Structure 1
């Protein structure tokens, strides 16, 4: 299990990842904006000395704000895992964050689930 945090920017950000049955589960808390772009991209796709993950569930239950930076990060991650026949799923997004994703249509590209458990078993 690895974690990444950023307390230098204006918003608090924390991400931790773990493996569950071969799926990287990334739990994110705080605000997703341009201040955390590199950190979030790294925790989603970095192989940490191994192959990058091909299946990822992102738990957004602790995310209080997300701007277009988050949308771009998730699209890039989706494209990267899709290239290796993998998938990216979003789980537990709160209404304001889910609303942003629905406004731009990312929920039509990346499957969104109400819980991490549902994202893992679908």
Structure 2
């Protein structure tokens, strides 16, 4: 189970997730983010992973899929507030080479 909060800040969508981003919730999260992108003319997606304590390959797929969508719109995806375990997953998957990682959401917003 993962709690989530979506905040629209201009053309940025800030996705705050709490808990585990895994195969149990990935499809639902994917659909919710895609709907928010379409309904709000979102250009950039910022994932705040401050409260994510576990992520599997389905979670990686959620991030990569949103990267593909917003890239086509000329936008970017950023990830903030990583804990060491999730950072290791991102490093192993190679996502850190295509997606910017920031310490805070404020940093990400000012850079996008």
- Report the counterpart of residue 103 of structure 1 in structure 2: 92
Which residue in 1 is equivalent to 2:65? 76
Deviations 1:64-107 (A, max 9, x none): 00011111111111000001111111111111001100111101
Structure 2 residue runs without a partner (length 5+): none
TM-score relative to the length of structure 2: 0.91
Q: RCO greater where, 1 or 2, for CA within 8 Å and sep 6 or more?
A: 2
- Segments of 5+ residues of structure 1 without an aligned counterpart are 1-11
Q: What TM-score results when the alignment is normalised by the length of structure 1? A: 0.84
The ranges of structure 1 where at least 4 consecutive aligned residues each deviate by more than 4 angstroms after the TM superposition are: none
Q: What SS class does the counterpart of residue 87 from structure 2 fall into?
A: helix
**Residues 79 and 102 of structure 2 are in contact (CA less than 8 Å); yes or no, is this contact kept in structure 1?**
yes
Q: Provide the residue aligned with 2:51 in structure 1.
A: 62
C-alpha displacement of 1:21: 3.0
Q: Following superposition of structure 1 onto structure 2, how do residues 1-122 of structure 1 map, counting pairs within 5 Å?
A: 12-47=1-36, 50-51=39-40, 53-122=42-111
User: Does the 8 Å contact 1:45/1:52 carry over to 2?
Assistant: no
**Deviation (angstroms), 1:48:** 7.7
Larger Rg: 1
Q: Does the CA contact (< 8 Å) of 1:54 and 1:87 recur in 2?
A: yes
Larger helix proportion of the pair? 2
CA RMSD, aligned part only? 1.6
Q: How many residues align?
A: 111
